[in-house]
């Protein structure tokens, strides 16, 4: 099978397409013939060496990619999946089998859920990683219907799922983003949009003088966003947390690997798509040979919708 790989850390130019042997699924695993896999910010960190501490004992070539859509190709013992089932899956790439960006990928059966019937493979591939990240973030924040949720980086992948899942749960969502993203964010459920930048905290406090109940910090603003949250509120941090909190605000560090075998949550996300409750966004598709171009585009910023490699 062909896979997007890298054998040394560096810029997008280290990415190559390699021919590697197909792996056989073991007990409780399935092999997926991949139709589409996405490029996420974490792939840039993996490729550049920022995550090298987590690669101890793993030999290159490495395969990036944390989510995919495709079709079940082979089934290990103890799994109910059948060859030909259309599926999506989350993949943890820092393992001997590598990540999602390959023609065939072996994953635990519990990391797989049915693909929504109403979406293309390219769209479906954008669901698992960021959808499950937001599911975990909202579970950790544990807000009640009617509570206020602010979302930084709201126009990004994590941010837009936070807006949509938050609104679907009856939260009053304040999106922090560029004014040019306002129309889109309101169309997917944001009650109000506050302009990103230095005035964001003031903008949120103008709408909710006591501060919001919870905040998903998808733009990784960190401590400077805390004043937007009420005393005793909560923040979901998606890239760890340095330093202290304040005013009894709970900091929840989100690591999607915790939900990498939460099949029920992944299946619910797919169902939401079929019910018209989740909008999927693809910015552009690339063949595997142009994966480096997709990495460059994501690195440059300003992408709306995910960049997807099609196999």
Ligand X SMILES: NC(=O)c1ccc[n+]([C@@H]2O[C@H](COP(=O)([O-])OP(=O)(O)OC[C@H]3O[C@@H](n4cnc5c(N)ncnc54)[C@H](OP(=O)(O)O)[C@@H]3O)[C@@H](O)[C@H]2O)c1
Q: Which is nearer to ligand X, 72 or 150 (CB)?
A: 150
Binding residues vs ligand X (CB under 6 A):
40-42, 129-130, 133, 152-153, 155-159, 176-177, 196, 218-221, 238-239, 254-256, 301-302
Q: Give alpha helix (H) positions in the chain.
A: 41-48, 121-124, 128-141, 157-168, 182-187, 200-207, 263-274, 291-300
Task: Output the residue with the shortest Cβ distance to ligand X.
Answer: 156
Residue 167 near residue 185, CB atoms below 8 Å: no
Q: Which is nearer to ligand X, 108 or 156 (CB)?
A: 156
Please state whether beta strands 148-152 and 172-177 pair in parallel, antiparallel, or not at all (unpaired).
Answer: parallel
The minimum distance between CB 157 and ligand X, in angstroms, equals 4
Q: Which is nearer to ligand X, 108 or 131 (CB)?
A: 131
The minimum distance between CB 263 and ligand X, in angstroms, equals 18
The minimum distance between CB 159 and ligand X, in angstroms, equals 6
Q: Which is nearer to ligand X, 198 or 244 (CB)?
A: 198
The minimum distance between CB 80 and ligand X, in angstroms, equals 27
The minimum distance between CB 133 and ligand X, in angstroms, equals 4
Tokens representing 250?
A: 């709970």
Q: Which is nearer to ligand X, 81 or 259 (CB)?
A: 259
């Amino acid at each position: 099978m062909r896979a997007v790989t890298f054998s040394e850390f560096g810029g997008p130019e280290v990415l190559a397409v390699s021919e590697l042997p197909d792996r056989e699924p073991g007990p409780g695993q399935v092999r997926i013939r991949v139709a589409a896999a996405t490029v996420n910010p974490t792939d840039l960190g993996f490729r550049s060496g920022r995550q090298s501490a987590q690669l101890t004992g793993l030999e290159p070539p490495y395969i990036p990619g944390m989510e995919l859509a495709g079709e079940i190709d082979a089934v290990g013992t103890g799994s109910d999946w059948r060859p030909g089932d259309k599926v999506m899956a989350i993949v943890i790439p820092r393992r001997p089998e590598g990540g999602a960006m390959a023609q065939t990928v072996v994953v635990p059966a519990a990391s797989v859920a049915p693909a929504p019937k109403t979406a293309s493979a390219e769209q479906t591939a954008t669901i698992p990683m960021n959808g499950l990240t937001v599911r975990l973030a909202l579970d950790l924040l544990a807000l009640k219907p009617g509570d206020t949720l602010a979302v930084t980086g709201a126009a990004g992948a994590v941010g837009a799922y936070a807006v949509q899942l938050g609104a679907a749960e009856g939260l009053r969502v304040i999106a922090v983003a560029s004014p040019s993203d306002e129309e889109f964010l309101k169309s997917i459920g944001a009650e109000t949009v506050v302009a990103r930048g230095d005035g964001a905290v003031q903008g949120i406090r103008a709408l909710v003088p006591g501060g919001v109940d919870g905040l998903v910090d998808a733009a990784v603003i960190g401590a400077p966003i805390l004043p937007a949250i009420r005393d005793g509120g909560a923040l979901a941090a998606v890239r760890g947390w340095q330093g202290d909190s304040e005013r009894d605000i709970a900091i929840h560090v989100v690591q999607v690997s915790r939900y990498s075998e939460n099949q029920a949550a992944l299946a619910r996300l797919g169902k939401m798509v079929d019910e018209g409750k989740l909008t999927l966004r693809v910015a552009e598709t690339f063949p595997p040979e142009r994966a480096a171009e997709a990495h460059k585009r994501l690195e440059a910023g300003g992408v709306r919708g995910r960049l997807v490699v099609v196999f």
